[in-house]
Amino acid sequence: MSNPKRNALGRGLSALLENASTDVTTSEHRPSNTTNEILISQIEANPFQPRTEFEERALNELAESIKVHGIIQPITVRKMGYDTYQIISGERRTRASIIAGLVKIPAYVRVANDQEMLEMALIENIQREELNPIEISLSYKRLIDECSLKQDELGERVGKNRTTVNNYLRLLKLPDSVQLALKEKAISMGHARAIINVEDPKKQEWMLEQMLADELSVRDVESLARQENMLVSKKVEKPLAQKKSETLVEFQLTLSDKFDTKILIKADDKGRGAIKIPFRSQADLQRILDLMRV
């Protein structure tokens, strides 16, 4: 016999909230669109909140909007005791409301245990559009580790297939430098997925350097990853190819120092290639030409 609560969880956050829709202030079942005005001073943060950093500028912009339009979407809380509530979802809206000077905030009051609270918070967090891939990956991992979910079950919770979930989880195996670049949007999810196909962490970091220096596309990185994997299978050729790549990087650094600009060097397997020397103005170009004449 199927578990009704488990089936509800499988439909995502909205089903979770709907399943926990008892309003404990009256001990009655209220419609899901019924809200209460709650004193912000009675609301405490969610200890399961996956996101701990909130951009100050975005919060201030939201606060200004709240001053003009009010709270468009009520927050969701659970009642902890007499006049005490804990946020299930909507901490950003609550913080912005405090900045806007609000005393009360509209809220849905729900009943939820700690397990449901964690799932609700994580799923609500995942559904936010501005999350970077690493934040999503960490939320997936918490759902698996702390809620004892399998990847298939997790996929049902967040509306993703197993392959997508696995691709996100694999990102957490990348070196810290690559994860940071992905988090800061210096590279895309496609770049990261291409890098992860190379097993050696040092090679992954080297590929990141090449990617940033040469502004490589996802297709370029995929090609580079294939080349690296081919070199692994041909151990005799690997040291020579690696030495050539390292030599090019050294040339780039040497020329960049000499001309005081970021020099880019590209070369194929036969040693043929090109040198790209960027300049910021006509005067900068003249400076570089003068250096070349020396």
pLDDT of residue 238: 45
Rounded (5°) CA angle 133-140-171: 45
CA-wise closest residue to 238 among 248, 227, 247: 227
Number of domains in the chain: 3
Q: Is residue 137 part of a domain?
A: no
Whether residues 226 and 278 share a domain: the answer is no
| 90 in any annotated domain | yes
- Verify that 37 and 100 share a domain, yes or no: yes
What's the pLDDT at 98? 93
Q: CA 255 to CA 150: how far, in whole Å?
A: 52
Among the listed residues 18, 61, 91, 153, the single catalytic one is 91
Last residue of a domain, one of 74, 97, 112: 112
Q: Are 14 and 106 contained in the same domain?
A: yes
Q: Are residues 25 and 103 in the same domain?
A: yes
Residue 44 lies in domain: 4-112
Residue 63 lies in a domain: yes
Please indicate, yes or no, if residue 161 is contained in any of the structural domains. no
Query: Is residue 239 one of the residues assigned to a domain?
Result: no
| Integer Cα distance of 179 and 177 in angstroms | 5
In degrees rounded to 5, what are phi and psi of residue 101? Answer: 90, 15
Say if strands 84-89 and 43-44 run parallel, antiparallel, or are unpaired: parallel
Tell which residue, 116, 115, 42, has the closest CA to residue 79: 42
Could you tell me the CATH number of the domain that includes residue 26?
3.90.1530.30
Same domain, 9 and 108: yes
Residues 277 and 198 in one domain: no
* Residue 81: DSSP 8-state: E
Asked if residue 50 belongs to a domain, the reply is yes
Within a domain: 240: no
Asked whether the whole model's pTM tops 0.85, one would answer: no
Is the domain of 34 the same as that of 95? yes
| Catalytic residue check, 209 | no
Q: Are 88 and 126 in contact (CB under 8 A)?
A: no
Of all helices (H) and strands (E), which one includes residue 264? strand 264-267
Whether 272 is covered by a domain: the verdict is yes
Tokens 């390292």 belong to which residue?
A: 246
Split the chain (294 residues) into runs of 10 and give each run's mean pLDDT: 40 45 38 72 78 77 90 84 83 91 90 69 69 84 78 81 88 90 89 89 90 88 83 53 65 77 78 82 81 71
